[in-house]
Amino acid sequence: AETWDAVPLAPPDSIFKLTAAYKADPHPHKVNLGVGAYRDDDSKPWVLPVVRKATQLLLNDPALDHEYLPITGLPEFVSGAAKLILGADSPALAEGRVASVQTISGTGANHIGALFLSRYYGFPGDKAVYLSDPTWANHFAIFNNVGIAPRTYPYYDPATIGLDFAGLLGALGAAPPRSVFLLHACAHNPTGVDPTRAQWAALADAMLAHGHYAFFDAAYQGFASGDLTADAQAVRYFVQRGVPLLICQSFAKNAGLYGERVGALHIVSPTQEASARVRSQLSVLQRSEISNPPSYGARVVALILNDDALFAEWRADVHTMARRIIEMRTELHHLLTAELHTPGNWDHIINQIGMFSFTGISPAQSQALTERAHIYLTVNGRISMAGLNSKNIRYFAEELDKVVR
Ligand code: PMP
């Protein structure tokens, strides 16, 4: 037998497969609504003007070198990132109760966070994590990789194309005390359905009542409302309420730094002393995984986070992206309801938030859109709103109208 006889052939990643199929399609009207990356009104990737500016500052800095960063990352990036999600006035930060490490974007933060829990968290019985149904598909693989079994909790209700809040609360009550629940901080992927403020409050009550641990994934801060502070509300509220938690943070989307892999993991502890122990072990795990995080993207973000003028420009850039997406929602809703009179209720298009919309169409209808109209989307009916623009939105609305009739 040969060495790798036992290795089964894995299927390609479905999202990246979709992108490849889109690229290979010569049709002039093709539309890519698959991948979750921001595109401007010309379907082009957008380098944020503030990122261009910060990059220039970096390149002009004669003191710039390529030495290793500390194991836990660039200090001014990590502290700025913590303030961004927790608030500059966060008591947890002031009290030294937050252990933070720079990570390989949001994926790396999820990985190190999951690895840390698998080593040190007091799970009730088997190591398990509760994930929303549905969720970012990679969550399953990330937890499986560190020996934590993924389970799901009800989240999305196909009947209302909204939140199954009763189902979610029921799952919190039914799970053994001290269970770990992964929550999307804002702009839920893939549904675009977030709890309301009042629902977050009830969720915090339930989490506290059962002693559950909140594993926050914050990959879209700024993309839900267009405001970085407003989108941190759920996380800050949970910290304030004293729900035990950690936060996985990504700068891929809100800074448009996808390929630079800029992220952080923040673990909030009850005491400064506990936090010091947590930080020490995060450092040990990080050393064996990547030794030192990459410097370029972290330097760019650190410049932006620690300079008032650059930070103000970034807020405006984030708002520009979110506003375009919200405009596409309004326009799509208008085309379907007021112009085409497409059968069904399409209010979810404007009620959902963030980069994605769950259209509610069937897998067969999704496939028909791809095959007949060269519109690429995942079979679950999720569309990336960033793939729509003033030039293709009418074509998309008309083709969607045709497949649902
Ligand atoms: N979490 C969620 C929910 C996501 O949608 C993504 C990006 N698709 C990530 C984490 C991580 O992305 P990245 O590693 O590029 O920061």
What are the residues whose beta carbons fall under 8 Å from the beta carbon of 248, sequence distance 6 or more?
103, 106, 109, 110, 113, 215, 216, 217, 218, 219, 263, 265
Helix (H/G/I), strand (E/B), else coil: 348: helix
Q: Is 256 in the pocket of ligand 1 (CB under 6 A)?
A: no
Contact of 209 with 67, CB cutoff 8 Å: no
Contact of 234 with 365, CB cutoff 8 Å: no
Q: Is the peptide bond before 45 cis (omega within 30 degrees of 0)?
A: no
Mean pLDDT over residues 328-335, rounded? 97
**Atom 6 of ligand 1: nearest residue by CA position:** 219
Q: Is 191 in the pocket of ligand 1 (CB under 6 A)?
A: no
Interval between CA 219 and ligand 1 midpoint (Å): 5
The number of the ligand 1 atom at minimal distance from the alpha carbon of 139 is: 1
Q: Is 354 in the pocket of ligand 1 (CB under 6 A)?
A: no
Please tell me whether the interface predicted TM-score (ipTM) of this complex is above 0.90: yes
Instruction: For 292, list phi and psi in degrees, rounded to 5.
Output: -140, 140
d(CA 149, CA 130): 9
- What average pLDDT is seen over the chain? 96
Mean pLDDT over residues 330-342, rounded? 97
Contact of 31 with 395, CB cutoff 8 Å: yes
Q: Is 221 in the pocket of ligand 1 (CB under 6 A)?
A: no
**Atom 7 of ligand 1: nearest residue by CA position:** 219
Q: Is 250 in the pocket of ligand 1 (CB under 6 A)?
A: yes
- Residue 128 confidence (pLDDT): 98
- Residue 14 confidence (pLDDT): 83
Q: How would you classify the pairing of strands 162-163 and 156-157?
A: antiparallel
- Residue 52 confidence (pLDDT): 98
- Residue 15 confidence (pLDDT): 84
Mean pLDDT over residues 92-104, rounded? 98
pLDDT digits (tens, 9 = 90+) for 257-280: 999 999 999 999 999 999 999 999
Helix (H/G/I), strand (E/B), else coil: 50: helix
Mean pLDDT over residues 153-180, rounded? 97
Q: Is 313 in the pocket of ligand 1 (CB under 6 A)?
A: no
**Atom 8 of ligand 1: nearest residue by CA position:** 36
- Residue 12 confidence (pLDDT): 86
pLDDT digits (tens, 9 = 90+) for 287-316: 999 999 999 999 999 999 999 999 999 999
- Residue 357 confidence (pLDDT): 92
d(CA 123, CA 306): 38
Interval between CA 248 and ligand 1 midpoint (Å): 9
Q: Is the peptide bond before 190 cis (omega within 30 degrees of 0)?
A: yes
Q: Is 263 in the pocket of ligand 1 (CB under 6 A)?
A: yes
The number of the ligand 1 atom at minimal distance from the alpha carbon of 107 is: 14
**Atom 16 of ligand 1: nearest residue by CA position:** 106
d(CA 399, CA 334): 15
Q: What percent of the chain stands above pLDDT 70?
A: 100
16 pLDDT above the threshold of 90: no
Interval between CA 220 and ligand 1 midpoint (Å): 8
The number of the ligand 1 atom at minimal distance from the alpha carbon of 258 is: 15
Q: Which pLDDT band, with edges at 50, 70 and 90, does 13 fall under? A: confident
d(CA 255, CA 311): 11
- Identify the DSSP state of 335: I
Ligand 1 pocket mutation, candidates 104, 189, 194, criterion most atoms within 8 A of CB: 189
73 pLDDT above the threshold of 90: yes
Q: Which pLDDT band, with edges at 50, 70 and 90, does 35 fall under? A: confident
Q: What percent of the chain stands above pLDDT 90?
A: 97
pLDDT digits (tens, 9 = 90+) for 218-232: 999 999 999 999 999
**Catalytic residues, which ones?**
136, 217, 253
Q: What is the dihedral of CA 359, 360, 366, 369, to 10 degrees?
A: -50
